[in-house]
Structure 1
Amino acid sequence: MRTWAMFLLWVCAWAARSAHARALPEGTLGEEGTGRRRPEGGEETLRRSRRGWMWKQFFLQEEYTGTDYQYIGKLHSDMDRGDGTVMYVLTGEGAGTIFVIDATSGDLHATRSLDREEKASYILRAQAVDKRNGVPLEPETEFIVKLHDINDNEPKFEKEVYMASVPERSHIGTSVTQVTAHDADDEMFGMSAKLVYSISQGHPYFSVEPNTGIIRTALGPSDMDREQREQYQVVIEAKDMAGQRGGLTGITTVNITLTDVNDNPPQFSQSVYQFSVPELAPAGAGAVAGRVRALDADIGRNAEMDYTVVGGDGLDAFDIATDGRTQEGVLTVKKVLDYERKKSYTLQLQVRNTHPDPRYVSVDSKDLAMVRISVEDVDEPPRFERPSYVLEVKEDAAVGTTVSSVSAADPDILKGVVSRYTIDRHTDVDRIFNVHSGNGSIFLQKPLDREDLAWHNISVIAAEFNNPQQTSRVPVYIRVLDVNDNAPTLASVYETFVCENGKAGQKIQTITAVDPDEPPGGHRFYFSLAPESSVRANFSVRDNDDNTASILTRRTGFRRTQQSAHAVAVVISDATFPMRSSTGTLTVRVCTCDHSGNMEACGAEALGGAAGLSTGALVAILLCILILLLIVVLFAAMKRQKKKEPLIMSKEDVRDNVVSYNDEGGGEEDTQAFDIGALRHPEAMEECSKLRRDILPSEPLYAPAVTRRAAAPARDDGDVRDFISQRVQEHDGSPAAPPYDSLATYAYEGSGSVAESLSSLGSASSNGAHDYNYLSEWGPRFRKLADMYGGDDDDWDS
């Protein structure tokens, strides 16, 4: 029916256009096109060609299910006279694939079913051309093909499962969450996309608004109790066609959780608790006496609670705190318990929420419980009367004097006695003190010296009578009181001078004193010249009343040549009873001074040196002398024991040492000049001498000077060369033997050898003339030796 309506509409439009075109004067422009006309003067003018259609858009039903092509409409041009010369051409979106046109008739069809949700419209262009030559008969026209929507899509929610929460005890109508669904159908055409929400599961606890999808609570506060039920599952439907019959439906699930509010006060699980604690249990947070538990149906922050002790006779002995992890009340001991004094305690506990909600639970909501705690008896060590003792004793107290006493008792037995007292010797290594094992009296075993040690810190141990393993100890601090047992002395070693031209009454030195004692009122020293002093006519001592004194001259003029130094004896006394005094000596040297009193020269006599040196200085000097003597003795001993240089040295070292003398040796018989045997290995020396006797020639290798004129008989030098070469190889291969080539040179030298001396001084004739014929005779042999020893021929010739 829709196709026939479109066709009738097209026919009416075509008729209207034709009538309008005929009404136009010939040669004028109409709405459909332009053309040209020829006026009477033969002038050619433009005129419009009228089209056979004015369609802006065509409509097509989506989801077509027929087997034939779906007819859309017909395109026709006024230029088409029905003679088959006009051809219609279609271009644009889907032309030739989705949309086809009959080139002759202009009928437009869709080749397949289309989905509006995939694409709602298509833009196409059509044009009429001359079939014979393809020349366009009119301009191209654009039109739209729109798809009519049908309800072929069900609503879809944004999420398949929604998660939501709402506080328990909420009022009716409290908003929980909102769900949203979408329909792909055209919401501008019909009711295909008009959605309505409804609840299919979740009654009677929740409801949903039909138009907005907002989910709200449907029951009152008393019915929405998390402690009764915490989780709810609600199913929401969305239906198109405004919920009418035949519409499509989509569903989603909403999981709703009731969140907790503090609507339950805590309550103790028991009304009375029983615990026991041993006496002497350590006090503090770690001394747990027991745990109590209160129950709260709420969770999280709403279940946090505070425990307090509100009554009973153990307020000062016990405390309670909350375990943040388990929310239990932890009872702890505040002080050390004593079974002999109190055997049990009663406590009243209170628990309440830390964060109460006044909307549901009163701030004063609380619960109470009773706790009974029994103290268990244990075997206790002895207990001293005091935690520590501070005692005093004078430093001049005699050995055996009782300083004071300590006392301990066994607390398990009323006024029970201990077996024995002892002193911890780790605290009194020198064993200065001791204690009576029965009554705890502390007495002296050695004399005291406050100046050596003013405080003694010891520990006294008390052991139980019935169980000696049960012990306790107490610190005892003993202060040594000062007595005046030390005389004051000069503060330092004083040595001053007086000028030869000094005046009477002149101050030459100020002295002071020291005293290791510590009188309560401080030191007061008195100074005076010793009555037996031999310098009373020369010097005097003036007490300055401030623990210092001045040394003054009593006459004018001193002579260094007569006496170069004076010893002034000064008596120093203290003011503490009993009074102590000592005599100190001050050395005054006589010096030459200028007019201003500046010292120029002084005599260095033994008196000044001795007076100026203290005992410690003399001891130090003696020690230095002893150390120097010891160093000298050790140096001498080490020098005697110094190891000799090794016998075996390298071939180069021996050769260098021998050649560097640049003179002749004394030969084997010259025992005064050098002992050649010391350079030889004993075995090598013995073997060498043995071999030399075996090859000793009938006449000396080096003949005496008197016989050198006679021609020596011809002999083979090969034996000597072979012998020396063999000896060199043997000695080079033995690490214990000296280099043979260097030592062998001594075997043929010296005044006592068969060859005698090679020096020209020993070869002179009786008339003083020297015969050098032996050079021509022995020259070749020296060159052979030079070749063997690596020397230079020129050296051997010379």
Structure 2
Amino acid sequence: MLGKFHQRKNSFVVRVSMDWNRLSREVLESPSLETHKRNIFLNKQKGKEAEVRQVLLVWEVEEVCGEMSAELKQGVKAMCFNMEDLLITGPLKDMNFTVPEEGGVRILYQFTSEPPAVSFRMSGEKDGIIHIVPNTGILYLNGSLDWETKPLHRLQVESLDVNGNVVKGPYAVTIYVEDINDNPPKFDQVSYTGVVRQNSRPGKPFMYVHATDRDNPATPHAQLTYSILHHFPNPYSEMLFQIDSATGAISPSRTGSYYLDPQKQDNFTLVVSVKDMAGMSTNAFSSSVDVIIIVKESLWKTPPTIHIQENSTEVHPVSISQVQSNEPDVIYGIFEKEKLPRLPFSISQDGVIYVTEPLDREEKDTYTFFVVTTDTHGELVDKPLQIHVIVEDINDNPPVCQQAVTVIEVQENEIGGSNIGTLIATDMDKENTLNSRLRFKIQSQIPEVPASNLFYIQQDTGILQLTGRSLNKFYASNYTLKVLVSDGAFHTICDVEVHVIDINDQIPIFEKSVYDNVTIAENVAVGTVILEIQAKDGDEPDTGSSLIIYQVKEGDPNNTFIIDTDAETNRGFVKINKALDFETMPVYTLVINATNPEPLVPGVQYNASSLTWFRVFVTDVDEPPVFLKPVYKEEVSEDIAVNTLVMTVDAYDPEGDSVRYSLEGDVNKWLRINSTTGQVYTASRLDREQTEMYTVQVVASEINNTGQKSRTSLILHLSDVNDNLPHLAMDSLAFFCYPVHGGEKTLIQATDADEQWFYSKFTFSLADEMNTRNNWEISKVNATHAYLSPKHHNFEEKVYKVPIILNDNGKPPLENKVYLKVSICTCSSEKSCFIEVEREHSWPTAGQAIGILVGVLLIIGAIVGGVFLHMKYKEKNEKSHHKDAKDSAELNRLT
């Protein structure tokens, strides 16, 4: 049937072509077939040909396809109707075509023949779909091409003459099949299963899913993207797993790396989707698959604390622990937590940890370091594990004596059983263990007199004690002990020296029971030695039993005296400790005792032999008066009345003489003092603005010996009252350029000598006189300044006196009316006055200047002549002038 169809179809195409040629011979004979076809379609006058062609096409389709299925009929009909769109024709040559797959029946091209060629022949990869009409050269498809079946078809076309001989060709015709998205992606497995370890690194893939798409991989049709549709169960707000959209790699998310725990949930199901068109199109195909994930316990765990015995004799390195990563093919390494000269540990690429050398607990008893895993790029794979190593102690250190020789002093009368000292030894092995437990034993005693066992040592504490026999310097003053110290494995000998010291059984005895009296002036300097004393002690020299301490036992209630001791000679030096005062204490009777720092032995006591005494007579020295205060201060108001009592100064004479008072340095003559009572009064009005802190000297002198005097300062702090009127500052000078144009203003400043409350503050106003307020106006700038401005233009060129009222902020406030001179004057180009307007201040005219000059010359001549005559007269009458003077003082005043 298909062969019959092709046969009849070819006949149909030929007849259609012949009818078409008959009906449009003028078009076919035209040199440009394509142009005339376009004209036919555009020219409504030639619609008849189109009708005829339509009738012929319908008839031929019914005739050829009468016995074919409806689908084939429709395809042929479509092919025939497409002939009216056949606009691409040309001579036989190499051609390339691109045809979308699933395009159905269609015409591709029409090759034109050149005589003697009358037909065409095609060979090659036709696959029963690609055909050429021999008589017309029409290249067409009678079905759809499939890119997935064959993406490229290579053909050869040649033209033939009437005898079937090749005229031209063969020429290559290549048809490229263009892919369309007609295949959904498919996973390569029905379901997937993967295993993930607890605490796996986030983002590190532990499995992959993979899908394929039959469409052209060079187009988006086969570009796949993966995503997780569902996550069962999903106990957290964030997914525990993530997928790489491009590769399908599944890894723990950051949340999953932290929360995955097989004890809580040991499996999950993910629904993974894959889409083509890179997932960017709503018309993309998609597929999904179940991924079952099993959670297993992490292999990467911190091992228990490692215990290593020190000084091991094994051959090193020695394996001490092992770690294992969750991921294969990692690189193990060690990271130091402490910076040590060397780290005696290493790790193999199997995760085995080694100690590389024997350890010494006494050098370092613990080690801490980290084990890490990295990939080939040096990136961390697992979280670092912290490794703890404890070095266990063995008894490998002998006892050590704390001192080369332990020296102990014992008094000769010490009773038996007394603790006389402790021998201290140490052991570097671990404390509070048997390895560091020490035991003591006396091995020898030299000399062995009066017995060989005078001493006993507690075996666990090293405390030395005396046995029942008491020591006596008569037998020996020094003993040497050899003490054996043992820790169970090692032994050490420690040396102990016991010095028998004399007991304090002798009291100090003064060489004199009474010393001669000492007479000193009351003004003797503190620290002066007034007497040397001496006592003797029969105990052993250079010990606490023989050193003498001197003290004033009686007669010195105020500690006016002190006694120093020379440790080598035991000589005492009595010194002045505080200033003497004849008027307070003219005589001291001092009782001195002598003692030892070491206590006396029982049965021995200090007695009168350890006492001495002497008298100190203090002689009087005339001293100047003494003020009761170092300085006198008083605050007074500056407006107090004259003769007001300000203060009273008080001084006394140590010898009881009467005192007179006077003032020095009262430059302002503001004060006077009662010479007898010391009362100070004001002698004139005070003025704070002149001096705020007024200081004078008060002199107190003895009446009977005026050379004995003392001085102190009297300071008056004057508090302010508002007693000064405000006034204009010196720089408040004003002028305006003539003529006045308006808008001018000048700055004026007020000041006040008084102390202002917090800050200076003045108010400015104009007095209501001389038509002032009609001519001028004043405006405040700040607390101390204001602007003065003219109010109109009609001012003459002269000086105006503007009355201004100033008020201060005193309590009470004061008011002052001042007159400000304001010059209205012709100004220079620099805007400054150069002519004084007022006559009394102007320069003289030329005539006035000549008159003044002549007058001055006449006066000078008269003065010179008068001086000459006076000298002559004085020479004649010199004696008479001296007689007229009453005395030499008046003569000096006159001359």
Q: TM-score range by the shorter chain?
A: 0.3 to 0.5
Structure with greater strand share of residues: 2
RCO (CA 8 Å, sep 6+): is it higher in 1 or 2? 1
TM-score using structure 1 length:
0.34
TM-score, scaled to structure 2: 0.31
